Amino acid sequence: MSSIGVVACTNACLDYFDHDYDIPILRSIIHLGEKEYRDHVDLTADEFYDAIESDPDIFPRTSQPPTSEMVETYEKMQKKGYTDLVVVTISSQMSGIFGAAQVAAKEVPDINVHVFDSRSVAYPQARMALKAAELSERGASVEEILEALDRIRTRNHIYFAVDTLAYLVKNGRLSNAQGFLGSMLKIKPLLHISKEGTVENIEKIRTFKKAVNRVVDMYIEETKGKKVEPFICHAHNPDVRDRIEARLKENDPSIESVFSMPLTPAVGAHAGPGAIGLGYIEED
């Protein structure tokens, strides 16, 4: 009988909320100047944002988890008795972790590793990992788990605004940056994650406040008449998070609370301080 384990990469931000599952994290490396940190282990979200906000000359970079650590994680799960692993990664369009996780899988022949491209990041990716763990505990097959993850993957959408495009552009994470590079520091665009898992610009907006308002407008328009789970992800921006939640409750009094989570350093290094994301997962 198969026993299915779940692994996620650090970009799911699973460290920042409680859950009951054994989900090892493949941790990215954060580079601040000459120093290196393992995401969340050596540098938490609060510490990271404090560092880059206090010293504007520090520009963060990231590198994916070493393949050797991925292999070690798979081997540890195999020794725990798992016959299969479902590895949920950040979008393959945003990072090389998906490909590296596949390469690492070939080094561990005694366990069946199924690497799943979330085509997203942060909460949708976390939700997929948690769903996989939940279904594993209930005795689902690998095929049933992957089918459930695909449903989440096709039924979520994130809109977000950043206070500066510098981080996304310099780190190469904005897929359609051409056409406004010269004015990138002057605009606060409305962005989203496409169905293919790329970060794309939708509208050019001149102020961060207007961009945030437009994020909420787009969310409300798109979710009208749908049963959804809303969520907010933010890069050290609790005030804007609270304003967004208040507006969502004003628009829909049936909402009692909106799940929110900080963006871990590996994600914040690309979004930049102050970034705010609002999204949803459409329920079955």
What does each of the 284 residues of the chain score in pLDDT, given as a tens digit? 469 999 999 999 999 999 999 999 999 999 998 999 999 999 999 999 999 989 888 889 999 999 999 999 999 999 999 999 999 999 999 999 999 999 999 999 999 999 999 999 999 999 999 999 999 999 999 999 999 999 999 999 999 999 887 787 776 555 554 444 445 556 788 899 999 999 998 888 889 999 999 999 999 999 999 999 999 999 999 999 999 999 999 999 999 999 999 999 999 999 989 999 999 999 97
pTM: 0.93
User: Looking at residue 165, what is its pLDDT?
Assistant: 78
The Cα–Cα gap between 135 and 246 comes to: 33
- What sign does the dihedral 249-273-219-231 (CA atoms) show? negative
Q: 3-class secondary structure for the chain?
A: CCCEEEEEEHHHCHHHCCCCCCCCEECCEEEECCEEEEECCCECHHHHHHHHHHCCCCCCEEECCCHHHHHHHHHHHHHCCCCEEEEEECCCCCCCHHHHHHHHHCCCCCCEEEEEECCCCCHHHHHHHHHHHHHHHCCCCHHHHHHHHHHHHHCEEEEEECCCCHHHHHCCCECCCCCCHHHCCCCCCEEEECCCCCEEEEECCCCHHHHHHHHHHHHHHHHCCCCEEEEEEECCCHHHHHHHHHHHHHHCCCCCCCEEEECCHHHHHHHCCCCEEEEEEECC
Q: How confident is the model at residue 182, as a pLDDT?
A: 40
pLDDT at site 57: 84
pLDDT at 146: 98
Per-residue pLDDT at 187: 76
Domains of the chain: 4-28+64-154 (3.40.50.10440), 156-282 (3.30.1180.10)
| Model pLDDT, residue 168 | 77
